[in-house]
């Protein structure tokens, strides 16, 4: 009997972490029932642009091959673990969801909506076949239960007790040399990306495509003095572009939604070193200066037809598209005609008066400016690695099909 449990919104800006609560729940289940997990625990990232997220908008799901009649006990264990470990401060409103047997199709619909839009709590309360407990966290909990992972990546999350020691870039570079390309997103230059900066209990998180390589990375770090209190490997939708590929994208820009659009860049200007660009569809696109080359590319892209991906946020009475990636499809190039006799440049004689060759003096009554499409600048522009959002798929990365990777030995400690 399959039992699906989802939890969400257990952390606050003061501390806590939903993945850590998931880790503690898994440890309790292993202690009481043994390894009844049908798959790795799942770390499900949702819409990165919701205004009330704490950090990365993550929910956790467990898929259990449970003994007959154990569902009530598992439900009580999940609610108890969340109640005792959630850091209920300020806006924190934890939730738990559970489905027995097949996951209802409406829960899968909630997942696809929650990847890219704001989902009201009333929507999840109408999902038949899913048991709920708690507050606003039930939205993410139901989405986690309904999550589809046609492709996935993995993250080994190690937890700490006490202070978080600094992990040097040299050590991370050595780890990456031993594990790349089976681990990724470890460094941005000399900036360490595996170590969080907030007050949560995470010591580090290593992302990858191969669980055995993640275990090796953790043991390598431990052998070099980075000793966690415990770790767990999550199967995730991170680095898969799930918010774009699976999310239900709105037909028109909606506040705090993921949005993809094609448009002509009409103008671009810098303000406090950030780049703002007007699009032919009426939106204003924004590229923060710390995104790296993508801001400079947008600034010089006036006249380009582009596809932009990002999140829509209200600002100064309008809607602005904050860019996550940009693909230049072509540039519209203006070409002034030249004299067919001598090849000289033609200057305008005024509106409706034609043009005159500056070299030979020939006057032409009809000498139209022509436009053509240039693909010389075509390409994908992305932020620097330190600015990638959790769901963003790095160029060249090929996430793993779900049925190809089973649980590795040592996936939890």
**Based on the domain organization, do 135 and 98 belong to the same domain?**
yes
Domain boundary among 329, 347, 379: 329
**Based on the domain organization, do 18 and 103 belong to the same domain?**
yes
Domain containing residue 302: CATH number: 2.40.50.140
**Assigned domain for 161 exists:** yes
**pLDDT band at residue 278 under the 50/70/90 scheme:** very high
Give CA–CA dist 224/132, Å, rounded.
Answer: 44
**Based on the domain organization, do 41 and 130 belong to the same domain?**
yes
Domain boundary among 131, 148, 165: 148
The reported pLDDT for the residue numbered 260 is: 96
The residues near 127 (Cβ < 8 Å, ≥ 6 apart) are: 104, 106, 107, 110, 142
| Helices marked H in 224-306 | 242-245, 293-299
Tokens encoding 397? 């990365």
pTM of the model: 0.90
pLDDT one-digit tens code per residue, 66-89: 999 999 999 999 999 999 998 888
Mean pLDDT score across all residues of the chain: 92
Q: Give the mean pLDDT of 376-392.
A: 90
**Based on the domain organization, do 131 and 8 belong to the same domain?**
yes
The reported pLDDT for the residue numbered 231 is: 97
**Based on the domain organization, do 163 and 236 belong to the same domain?**
yes
CB 395 within 8 A of CB 380: yes
**Assigned domain for 354 exists:** no
**Residue of higher predicted confidence among 109 and 291:** 109
The residues near 92 (Cβ < 8 Å, ≥ 6 apart) are: 9, 10, 11, 12, 16, 54, 86
**Based on the domain organization, do 222 and 263 belong to the same domain?**
no
Q: Give the mean pLDDT of 20-32.
A: 97
pLDDT at residue 163 tops 80: yes
CB 61 within 8 A of CB 108: no
| Helices marked H in 224-257 | 242-245
Q: Which domain holds residue 229?
A: 152-240+396-401
The reported pLDDT for the residue numbered 404 is: 59
**Based on the domain organization, do 161 and 48 belong to the same domain?**
no
Least confident of 163-172, 308-317, 374-383: 374-383
Q: In percent, how much of the chain has pLDDT > 90?
A: 73
**Based on the domain organization, do 162 and 187 belong to the same domain?**
yes
Domain containing residue 170: CATH number: 3.30.70
pLDDT one-digit tens code per residue, 90-105: 788 999 999 999 999 9
Which helix H or strand E contains 202, and what residues bound it? strand 202-208
Cα angle 199, 78, 201; round to 5: 15
Domain boundary among 95, 120, 148: 148
pLDDT one-digit tens code per residue, 308-319: 999 999 988 889
**Based on the domain organization, do 187 and 206 belong to the same domain?**
yes
Per the structure, the count of domains in the chain is: 3
pLDDT one-digit tens code per residue, 402-413: 665 677 778 999
Q: Give the mean pLDDT of 192-203.
A: 92
């Amino acid at each position: 009997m399959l039992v699906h449990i989802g939890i969400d919104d257990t952390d606050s800006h003061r501390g806590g972490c939903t993945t850590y609560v998931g880790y503690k729940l898994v440890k309790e289940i292993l202690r009481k029932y043994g390894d009844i997990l049908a798959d790795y625990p799942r770390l499900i990232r949702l819409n990165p642009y919701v205004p009330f997220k704490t950090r990365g908008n993550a929910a956790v799901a467990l898929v259990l091959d449970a003994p007959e009649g154990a569902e009530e006990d598992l439900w009580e264990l999940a609610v108890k673990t969340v109640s005792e470990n959630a850091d209920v401060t300020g806006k924190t409103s934890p939730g738990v969801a559970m489905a027995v047997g097949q996951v209802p199709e409406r829960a899968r619909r909630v997942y696809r909506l929650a990847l890219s839009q704001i989902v009201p709590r009333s929507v999840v309360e109408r999902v038949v076949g899913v048991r709920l407990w708690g507050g606003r966290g039930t939205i993410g909990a139901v989405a986690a239960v309904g999550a589809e992972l046609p492709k996935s990546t993995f993250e080994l999350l190690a937890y700490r007790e006490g202070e978080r020691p600094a992990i040097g870039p040299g050590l991370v570079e050595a780890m990456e040399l031993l594990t790349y390309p089976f681990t990724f997103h470890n460094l941005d230059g000399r900036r360490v990306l595996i170590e969080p900066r907030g007050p949560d209990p995470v010591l580090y998180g290593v992302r990858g495509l191969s669980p055995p390589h993640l275990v090796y990375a953790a043991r390598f770090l431990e052998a070099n003095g980075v000793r966690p209190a415990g770790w767990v490997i999550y199967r995730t939708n991170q680095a898969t572009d799930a918010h774009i590929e699976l999310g239900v994208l709105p037909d028109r820009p909606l506040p705090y939604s993921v949005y993809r659009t094609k448009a002509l860049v009409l103008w671009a200007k810098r303000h406090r070193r950030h780049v703002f660009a007007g699009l032919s569809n009426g939106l204003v696109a924004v590229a923060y200066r710390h995104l790296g080359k993508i801001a400079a590319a947008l600034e010089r892209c006036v006249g380009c037809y582009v596809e932009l991906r990002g999140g829509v946020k209200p600002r100064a009475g309008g809607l602005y598209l904050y860019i996550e990636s940009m693909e230049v499809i072509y540039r519209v190039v203006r070409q002034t005609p030249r004299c067919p006799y001598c090849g000289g440049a033609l200057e305008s004689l005024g509106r409706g008066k034609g043009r005159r060759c500056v070299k030979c003096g020939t006057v032409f009554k009809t000498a139209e400016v022509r436009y053509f499409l240039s693909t010389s600048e075509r390409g994908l522009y992305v932020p620097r690695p330190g600015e990638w959002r959790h769901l963003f798929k790095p160029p060249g990365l090929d996430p793993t099909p779900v049925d190809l990777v089973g649980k590795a030995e040592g996936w939890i400690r």
